[in-house]
Amino acid sequence: MGRVKRPLTRDRVLRAAVRVADEGGLGALTMRRLAEVLGAEAMSLYYHVRNKEEVLDGVVEVITSEINDLVDKIDLPSEGAAWKAAVRTRILTAREVFLRHPWATGVFESRTSSNPAVLRYNDGMVRLLRDGGFTHDQIHHALHALGSRSLGFTQELFDPGTGPVTEESLAALRGMADAFPHLVSMLTEIAHDDPDSTLGWCDDQKEFEFGLDLILDGLDRLRA
Amino acid sequence: MGRVKRPLTRDRVLRAAVRVADEGGLGALTMRRLAEVLGAEAMSLYYHVRNKEEVLDGVVEVITSEINDLVDKIDLPSEGAAWKAAVRTRILTAREVFLRHPWATGVFESRTSSNPAVLRYNDGMVRLLRDGGFTHDQIHHALHALGSRSLGFTQELFDPGTGPVTEESLAALRGMADAFPHLVSMLTEIAHDDPDSTLGWCDDQKEFEFGLDLILDGLDRLRA
DNA sequence: ACCTGAACACCGTTCAAGT
DNA sequence: ACCTGAACACCGTTCAAGT
């Protein structure tokens, strides 16, 4: 934060990009704003990165490195049946990083990046599954089946509302009973079972773990 | 495509938006280009939609309606154990629509939309799972576990390359053996097993079905 | 009610020029 | 080698004005 103007580097640019997005969301991450926080002009950035795409690729690298730093510290057995707990912990640890940088999932989704950090993360995943006794072919399928869950986040399309369950939202729900009877039945029952839910309609973490365990259990059954 | 200038409507605007993206990708979908194909000025669009966000929300609605038209025609038993085949067919049918509009997954990912079309799709999904004997609570978990897979697409982060397996790509792979030993071992074995693969490293459809079946089998085991 | 022209505030990026 | 000022081509959007 000092007033002294350190020279720009690719690394400083990318770390600043994460900081800008942390503070103002992905929309705040413009080349001009990025230069501003670095005490430089927008055009100076182009000496260190080719274009904005490269900044976003770099952001993926920075975030994934943060994940790697955390998962590298995990010291759990992974031989045989222990693979599952090891992979589960790895993924839930990675997830913590996305909870700190909620805007980052969108960046990961927008590119199929295979930078060194992501490759290293996947390499560790292959190792754990290998320890579990899976064949290379099974591991390949497993990584595809996990998709973004492997890094700790999911794309939710079913979102019955993020706010808390209120009298208004319940009334709105009743109004849709004719058009979407099965959906409304389900949601009213869920709201009724947990009327004081301060978490809103769903507990993201619980749902993530449910889906993750479903897949891990399924994989475990495939082991030789 | 007659020369006659029909009046703009919200519906015409949204359908044109899908057409523009089909032809030039999501990047081509600008308000100015959209107006152009409709034979109007960009500013005229704002009489029918609030802003570009609403155009994108509308695109989700149009695409999901296309999906609903297809899945509504499916006539399969869904009582008891038959639920699985019914859901599987529904999802793979929805997937066909995204294969026709590959740019659309990005739009779905960028918003948690609950427009009427998406609600209707989910309503049908709840019905099928209900027929299968699941409780409302289980169905709720199931929809979260499926995530975007419920609509027929996944977010792939593990992508070892889209091109075909060539001598160059294999050489590049060998160069990474020190840094990512487990990953490289896996990929070389996969390439070796299927050396003439014209599909490239992975068959997207096969991987999608593998992951889908893993989840559906897992859910089936939860039924009362 | 429906559409438009001109204008504004913002992008990412190029290029020639500075030190 | 590193940084910058001015400028360009493009956005989405506002607003007053047309029919």
- Is domain A1-50 in CATH 3.30.160.20, yes or no? no
Q: What is the pLDDT of residue B4?
A: 54
Residues of B in contact with A217 (CB under 8 A): 218
Which DSSP state fits B8? P
CA distance B154 to chain A (A): 7
By percentage, how much of chain A surpasses pLDDT 70? 92
Q: How far apart are CA B158 and CA B168, in angstroms?
A: 20
Chain A CB contacts of B210 under 8 Å are: 141, 144-145
How do the domains of chain B map onto residue ranges? 1-50, 60-157+211-223, 161-201
Q: What is the mean pLDDT of residues A65-88?
A: 98
Which whole number is the average pLDDT over B182-186?
Answer: 96
Is the pLDDT confidence value at A36 over 90? yes
Provide, as residue numbers in chain A, all residues whose Cβ is less than 8 Å from the Cβ of B117. Answer: none
Residue A110 contacts B, CB cutoff 8 Å: yes
Percent of chain A with pLDDT over 90: 79
pLDDT tens by residue, A89-121: 999 999 999 999 999 999 999 998 789 999 999
Kindly tell me the sign of the dihedral angle through the C-alpha atoms of A176, A159, B138, B75. Answer: positive
Confidence of residue A3 (pLDDT cuts 50, 70, 90): very low
* pLDDT at residue B193, rounded to an integer: 74
Greater confidence (B73 vs A171) lies with B73
For residue A61, pLDDT over 90 is answered with yes
Closest CB to A140: pick one of B144, B150, B186.
Answer: B186
pLDDT at A18 over 90: yes
**Cα separation of B21 and B19, whole Å?**
5
How close B164 gets to chain A, by Cα (Å)?
16
Interface test with chain B among A183, A199, A212, A222, by most B beta carbons within 10 Å = A183
- Terminal Cα distance for chain B, rounded: 55
Cα–Cα distance measured from residue B29 to residue B40, given in angstroms and rounded to the nearest whole number: 15
Q: Shortest Cα distance from A180 to chain B (angstroms)? A: 6
% of chain B surpassing 90 pLDDT: 79
pLDDT confidence tier of residue A159, bands split at 50, 70 and 90:
confident
Would you state the pLDDT for residue B3?
45
Does any CB of chain A come closer than 8 Å to the CB of residue B179?
yes
pTM of the complete model:
0.93
CA nearest neighbour of A64 among A21, A122, A126: A122
Contact B126 A150 (CB under 8 A): no
